[in-house]
Amino acid sequence: MCDTIVALNSIEGRGYTYFGKNSDREPDEVQNIKIIPKIKYPKGAKVTCTYIVIPQIGETARVLLCQPFWMFGAEMGANEYGVIIGNEAIFTREKPSQTGLTGMDLVRLGLERSKSAREALNVIIQLLEEYGQGGNCGYRYKLNYMNSFIIADEREAYVLETVKKWWAWKKIKDYWSISNIISLEQNYDECSEGLIVNAMEKGFCKSEKDFNFRSCYSDRFMSGAAGGIVREKRSRELLRQKYEKCNTE
């Protein structure tokens, strides 16, 4: 499976943000490195995403994408304003929809429509709430999942985790990593109201006070099979070691 990490300048100590992601697409599923220029669009223009068509904005930013060849979206990318986004599959107790925006679609749209990490966070949330997420994300094999994102620029970074049209996010201090498992528990900064209401209605928790995002929504079998807990623990440990070293030198 795959992992995404971010370290802000407080850990790297060089005045910039460090971002990394690996990708575990199928062996013969080519990922193209593509630069898509800034484009102005006429009023009423549409954009054809992987499975659905949505309204286009007036002007998109220039973006660099690492894009599986058959889809609209991208596993990771950056734009001309220094925004960078990567996503991870997460497996939840809620079934993914058969169609909607894929996590990769949301990566690309977030990059094309933002000038900062915070703006990209808001763009993805807005698109998620309006159009939902879904559709097969596998090339030769069917694979459906929800999505987790790290969104960063040179000043700040966020982790955004989603289930259907619901979400929770946290502003990252120093460093963070995501690894095919819900990383947020009760430590989020904001979440959509429906996330907790649905958990209580489904019996995942008894009350809002009792709500824990990871515990309530994780599909334990798939999350365990993906090895997310082990990989998250290891990536965090390596980041912690680097952070401590930078702050003691």
List alpha helices for 101-144, DSSP H.
Answer: 103-112, 117-131
Upper half-sphere CA count for residue 108 (Cβ side, 13 Å): 24
Residue 60 tokens read as 């998109």
CA distance 114 to 83: 8
Tell me how far apart the terminal alpha carbons of the chain are, to the nearest angstrom: 34
Does 2 qualify as catalytic in the annotation? yes
3-state secondary structure of 76: strand
Considering the candidates 2, 49, 66, 137, report the single residue annotated as catalytic: 2
Q: Looking at the DSSP assignment, which residues form a beta bridge with residue 66?
A: 33, 76
CA distance 49 to 45: 13
CA distance 101 to 127: 8
Q: Looking at the DSSP assignment, which residues form a beta bridge with residue 35?
A: 64
CA distance 80 to 78: 7
229 burial class (0-12, 13-18, 19+ CB within 10 angstroms)?
middle
Residue 91 tokens read as 């497996």
194 burial class (0-12, 13-18, 19+ CB within 10 angstroms)?
middle
Q: Which residues contact 128 (CB under 8 A, 6 or more apart)?
A: 101, 106, 162, 165, 167
Catalytic annotation, residues: 2
